Amino acid sequence: MPTGVSDLVLVNVDGKPGFYARVEAIVPDVKPGWWQVKLLVLSFPLQVYTWILEETQINGLPFTMGGTPIKLEKVVSPAEPAEPVPNATTGEKPGGGKVVSLFERKKGE
């Protein structure tokens, strides 16, 4: 599955996890076959990087920057289990609980 706008990526630097980022934009570069990829780096403080990459690099092919190996790895949210897991103590399956409005809870404080 290709990486696109709004996807989360793990940026591996020198073979190790470096940082997470959200893809903000992917626009064509002036050089044919290359793309300007705007990344919102999820750090404190937030930073924005724009890298010029080929499509294969956006989708996970390793490349180098200044001799340092870099790889973008799309982050996929783990799937919810198909069947709820029973509580180890009671054996009951989760569900049927009361929904609590955080807005209403704050008003009552």
Write down the domain spans for the chain: 8-74
DSSP character string of 5-52: TT-EEEEEETTEEEEEEEEEEEEE-SSTTEEEEEEEE-SSS-EEEEEE
Q: Are 20 and 42 in contact (CB under 8 A)?
A: yes
Q: Are 22 and 49 in contact (CB under 8 A)?
A: no
User: Residue holding tokens 């870099």?
Assistant: 70
Q: Sign (positive/negative) of CA torsion 65, 22, 53, 29? A: negative
pTM of the shown model: 0.71
Task: List the structure tokens of 39.
Answer: 């990344």
Percent share of the chain, pLDDT over 90: 68
pLDDT digits (tens, 9 = 90+) for 27-74: 999 999 999 999 999 999 999 999 999 999 999 999 999 999 999 999
